[in-house]
Amino acid sequence: MSLDEQNHLRNQIEQALANAGWEFEREAMVVPGRFRITGDDLRERVPVADYLLRFQGVMLAVVEAKRGAVDLQAATEQATIYARRAGVSFAIATNGEQWSVSNLASGEAHLLDAPPSPEELISQSNIPLHSVGWGEAIAAAPFGEDGQPARLRPYQEQAILATLSHFAEGNRRASLLMSPKTGATYTIFQLVWKLLNSNAFKSKRVLFLTDRRHRVEESYQCFAAFGDTRSMIQRHAKPEDHQRVFFATSQMMSHDRGAEVLYEEFPSDFFDLVILDQCQSVLGSRAGILAHFQQALQIGLMDSPHLGALEYFGNPIYAYSLQHAINDGYLLPFLIESRTPAWGTFHSDLLVEEQFEKAIVTAENTRHIASDLWKALSRFDEKQRKTMVFCVNSTHAEMMTSELQRVSRDPSFAVHISSAHPESQLLIDRFRQNDESGLRVAVSVDMLSKVSIPDVSNIVLARPIANSAVFSNLISQGALPCDAIGKRYFTVFDYCESLGALDTDWMGFPENDRELLQQPDPCISTPHSDQGADVVESDDLRVIGKSIRALCNDSFDQLIQIWASHDERRSFRNRLGGVDLIQKLRHQLDMHGVDDVDVLAKVGFDLGDVPTRKDRVRHFWGFDGPWLRKRLGLKENSFERDENTDSWKLAFWRVTLDHYSLYGVDQLERGQTYQLPQFVGQFGSFQTLTSKYGGPKKLRADLEAVKEKIYVPVVSDGGNVE
Strands 90-94 and 99-103: antiparallel
Q: Are strands 490-494 and 456-461 parallel, antiparallel or unpaired?
A: parallel
- 10 Å CB burial of residue 430 (0-12, 13-18, 19+) is middle
Same domain, 698 and 640: yes
**Are residues 514 and 544 both part of a single domain?**
no
Q: How many structural domains is the chain composed of?
A: 5
Within 13 A of 216's CA, how many CA atoms are on the CB side?
A: 19
Cα gap 465→448, rounded to integer Å: 16
* Residue 530 belongs to a domain: no
Q: What is the pLDDT of residue 482?
A: 94
Do both 262 and 152 map to the same domain? yes
Domain-located, residue 677: yes
- At 139, which CATH number? 3.40.50.300
Q: Residue 444, Cα to own-chain centre: how many angstroms?
A: 15
Q: Residue 49 domain-assigned?
A: yes
Give counts: helices (H), strands (E), the chain: 28, 19
Q: Chunk the chain into consecutive blocks of 10 residues (it has 722) and report each block's average pLDDT, rounded to whole numbers.
A: 73 95 93 89 86 95 81 85 92 93 93 95 91 93 84 95 96 94 96 95 93 84 95 87 93 68 91 89 73 95 77 90 94 89 44 67 90 91 93 93 95 89 84 76 88 94 87 94 93 87 86 50 36 50 87 91 91 78 80 90 85 91 90 71 69 92 89 82 86 91 95 66 42
Q: Are residues 104 and 193 in the same domain?
A: no
> Phi then psi for 591, rounded to 5 degrees?
-115, 45
How confident is the model over 558-594, as pLDDT tens digits?
999 999 998 899 888 878 876 678 877 887 787 888 9
Residues 569 and 641 in one domain: no
The pLDDT assigned to 297 comes to 97
> Residue 305 falls within a domain, yes or no?
yes
Neighbours of 280 (CB within 10 A): 24
Q: Pick from 179, 493, 191: which is nearest to 337 by CA?
A: 493
User: Does any domain span residue 719?
Assistant: no
Within 10 Å of residue 169's Cβ, how many Cβ atoms?
11
* pTM to 2 decimal places: 0.75
Q: What was the pLDDT predicted at 517?
A: 40
Q: Which residue, 555, 588, 605, sits at the end of a domain?
A: 605
- Taking the C-alpha atoms of residue 716 and residue 674, their distance in angstroms, rounded to an integer, is 28
- Judge if 373 and 311 occupy the same domain: no
Any residues with CB less than 8 A from the CB of 722 and at least 6 apart, and which?
Answer: 394, 418, 419, 420, 444, 445, 446, 447, 618, 621
Determine the pLDDT at residue 69: 59
End-to-end Cα separation, the chain, in angstroms: 64
pLDDT at 53: 97
Residue 287 φ then ψ, to 5°: -60, -40
DSSP codes of every residue in 157-182:
HHHHHHHHHHHHTT--EEEEEE-TTS
Q: Are 266 and 198 within 8 A, CB to CB?
A: no
- Please tell me what DSSP assigns to residue 59: E
600 and 628: one domain? no
- Domain with 591, as residue range(s), is 538-605
Alpha-carbon separation of residue 576 from 74, 118, 588 (angstroms): 74, 70, 17
Q: What is the pLDDT of residues 125-160, one digit of tens each?
A: 889 998 889 999 999 999 998 777 788 999 999 999
Rounded distance between C-alpha atoms, residue 568 and residue 551, angstroms: 11
Give yes or no: residues 226 and 205 share one domain.
yes
State whether 386 and 242 are in the same domain: no
Same domain, 68 and 169: no
What are the start-end ranges of the H helices in 232-362? 250-254, 285-292, 307-313, 322-328, 353-360
